[in-house]
Amino acid sequence: MHASKNLLQFALASVSILCLLAEMYGITTLRFAVCSWLLPCAFILMTWLAFAVLKGDRETIAVIGGGACFGFIAAIVYDVYRIPFALWGFPIFSVFPRFGRMILGSDAPSWAVHLAGWAYHFSNGMGFGIMYMALARRVSWWWAVGWAVLIEISMLFSPYPQFFGFAVTSLFLAVTLSAHALFGVALGLQVRCWKKEGKIAHA
């Protein structure tokens, strides 16, 4: 029962990044996917979490609530780490307004485009956090580093770099892989803290 529940949580959380993959592979637009896939799945997860809080279901609270919070904070750490590279001239944050334009359309106000783009970025971070918590929260915290790096390697083998015009140089690889490794460290250490506080059961 727990395994099937965790797989469903993993699947619902994965929809965020699947929306972008669907756009890049020409399956559908990011705008359609966000409206038709992501928003309903996010609503299901939030409703599931609300019922879990009412019932005192610590397992679900840890996976959905904890995973979303951990992923959000890890995404902030990930972005802060990349700021010096952006100031150095790396177009690291240029994808976010592109996300926003794909979701809202090119005629949307600039502030709305940036807001939508950043919101989608954090949606991915929260989704990755829930996905990790659904399947690997009971393993050693450093598994989160492998999880984060695996995500980025998978994206590098997708149309992502070409789609957004990134030249896959050794410097680009060093920056993006180290940033994702730091995302994993932030995610894993938060899970470790919850384990120590008894909020997540050990294996």
- Is 50 exceeded by the pLDDT of residue 203? no
User: Of all helices (H) and strands (E), which one includes residue 93?
Assistant: none
- Taking all residues of the chain, what is their mean pLDDT, rounded to a whole number? 93
Helices (H), the chain: 2-24, 30-33, 39-55, 58-60, 67-87, 95-104, 110-136, 143-156, 160-163, 170-196
**Domain edges within the chain:** 2-196
What average pLDDT does range 59-63 have in this prediction? 93
Closest by CA position to 46, among listed 59, 62, 74, 65: 65
Task: Please report which confidence band the pLDDT of residue 89 belongs to, taking 50, 70 and 90 as the band edges.
Answer: confident
- Is 90 exceeded by the pLDDT of residue 9? yes
The model's pTM? 0.93
**Type of residue numbered 90:** F
34/41 Cα distance (integer angstroms): 10
Q: What is the per-residue pLDDT for 199? A: 63
**Type of residue numbered 156:** L
Nearest-10 Cα torsion for 155, 156, 159, 165: 120
Q: What is the per-residue pLDDT for 195? A: 75
Task: Please report which confidence band the pLDDT of residue 57 belongs to, taking 50, 70 and 90 as the band edges.
Answer: very high
**pLDDT, tens digit, for every residue of 94-135?**
999 999 999 999 899 999 999 999 999 999 999 999 999 998
- CB atoms inside a 10 Å sphere around CB 142: 13
- 59: phi > 0 → left, psi -120 to 50 → alpha, else beta; which? alpha
What average pLDDT does range 60-71 have in this prediction? 95
**pLDDT, tens digit, for every residue of 151-191?**
999 999 999 999 999 989 999 999 999 999 999 999 999 99
